[in-house]
Amino acid sequence: MMQSQNKMLEISFSSKIEYQDYKQLNLQVSQKILFIFKIIGFIIIAISVLLFVQTESIYSIPLMILGLLFIFGFSFLMSFSIKKNYKSQQRIHERLEYTINEKDIHIQGESFNSTVSWNKIYKVTETNDLIFIFENRLSAYIIPIKNLSNKEYADLKSIIKSFESSKNT
């Protein structure tokens, strides 16, 4: 009796993470905290305006500045931190060789080698330009879609769909 084996879908490609890709990942991860800081900033500004209208107090000016710092300062610090981290982490600049199948994800860099099974993946998200495969809430593999052929992209989407359907059952 002959057993039929299902051929496992597998793709291999190479990629390099550019600064804009890294920045997009970090902004996506910190999106909620940025939103909260902006809301707090607007509330502080609203309170300072009300304070000034009701009392014409000079104390409303520092309060307004504090609100502006919450709105713009945190975003500036985040951008500065992202750029500093990108420049200082050598692994980010390496060309990466990916081999992805329905069982696991293998990544070979110039200074490291990593394999993670799909059952250890937290989630997968996609933007117009990038696919993020999250190992946890804060770290993800970044795959620029422009580095994939149409067939590789279709095969990767099929593998991801298989992962998502197994995660939902």
pLDDT digits (tens, 9 = 90+) for 89-141: 888 888 899 999 989 999 998 888 999 999 899 999 998 889 999 998 888 88
DSSP state of 86: H
Convert the pLDDT of each residue in 30-86 to its tens digit.
Answer: 888 889 999 999 999 999 998 888 888 787 888 899 999 999 998 899 889 999 988
Domain 10-17+91-168 has CATH 2.30.29.30: yes
Q: Return d(Cα 42, Cα 36) in angstroms, integer.
A: 10
pLDDT value of position 39: 95
Q: Contact 11/67 with Cβ under 8 angstroms?
A: no
What burial class does residue 124 get, using C-beta atoms within 10 Å of its C-beta: 0-12 exposed, 13-18 middle, 19+ buried?
Answer: buried
In the chain, list all ranges with CATH 2.30.29.30.
10-17+91-168
pLDDT value of position 54: 86
User: Mind spelling out the 3-state secondary structure of the chain?
Assistant: CCCCCCCCCEEEEEEECCHHHHHHHHHHHCHHHHHHHHHHHHHHHHHHHHHHHHHCCCCHHHHHHHHHHHHHHHHHHHHHHHHHHHHHCHHHHCEEEEEEECCEEEEECCCCEEEEEHHHCCEEEECCCEEEEECCCCCEEEEEHHHCCHHHHHHHHHHHHHHHHHHHC
Convert the pLDDT of each residue in 157-166 to its tens digit.
Answer: 999 998 887 7
pLDDT value of position 165: 79
- What's this model's pTM, rounded to 2 decimal places? 0.70
pLDDT value of position 1: 40
In the chain, what percentage of residues exceed pLDDT 70? 95
pLDDT value of position 6: 56
Q: Return d(Cα 96, Cα 113) in angstroms, integer.
A: 10
